[in-house]
Amino acid sequence: MRPRSPWLGCSHADDMSTTDDVFAKLGLRPRLTARDYLLPALGIFGFGFLAGAGVMMLLAPQLRGRLRQRFQRGASRLRAVVEREGEEQEQEQEQEQGREERADLEKLSRSELYERAHAMNIDTHRNMSKADLVDAIITEG
C-alpha cells in the first residue's frame, strides 16, 4: 500500500478530483473567478431593476397626468406667443403697405388725387388740400 500523506488525508494525489478539494482539505479558500463575482452582482442589479420598475408602474398614472398637464401648459403658451407674433407681424405689414400706399399717392398731383377720389365716390370739396385728399383716399380705400 502506498503511504498516506499526513497533511492531505488521502493515500495518493491522483485520488483528489479538483484543486478546490485540495484547498478544502488544507483549510484554505479557493480562488474566486469572475463568474463568482459577476452572477451575484447581476442578481442584485436585476432585483433592483425589477423593484424600480414595479414602483414606476404604481406611480406611472400620476406622473403621466403631470406630464400631460405640463405639455398642455407649454403648448398653450407657445400657441399664445405664436398668435401674438403673427398679429404683430400682420400689423407691421399693414403699416408698411399703408406707408407705401401713402407714398405712392403723395407722388400724384392734387388734380389726379381729386379725380381718383371722385372715381371712388368719396365726398370731396374744391378747397381740400393734397394731404386731405390722400387721407380721404386711404381712409376709404
Q: Is residue 48 part of a domain?
A: yes
Sorted by sequence, the CB contacts under 8 Å of residue 44 that are 6+ apart come out as none
Same domain membership, residue 47 and residue 21: no
- Residue span of the structural domain in which 18 resides: 1-30
Please report the pLDDT score of residue 76 as a whole number. Answer: 94
Please report the pLDDT score of residue 1 as a whole number. Answer: 46
Same domain membership, residue 78 and residue 44: yes
Number of domains in the chain: 3
Percentage, residues of the chain above pLDDT 70? 87
Secondary structure (DSSP) of the chain: -PPPPTTT-SS-GGG---HHHHHHHHT-PPPPPHHHHHHHHHHHHHHHHHHHHHHHHHHHHHHHHHHHHHHHHHHHHHHHHHHHHHHHHHHHHHHHHHHHHHHHHHTS-HHHHHHHHHHTT----TT--HHHHHHHHHHH-
Please report the pLDDT score of residue 7 as a whole number. Answer: 53
pLDDT < 50 regions, the chain: 1-2, 16
Please report the pLDDT score of residue 80 as a whole number. Answer: 94
Same domain membership, residue 45 and residue 13: no
Sorted by sequence, the CB contacts under 8 Å of residue 9 that are 6+ apart come out as 25
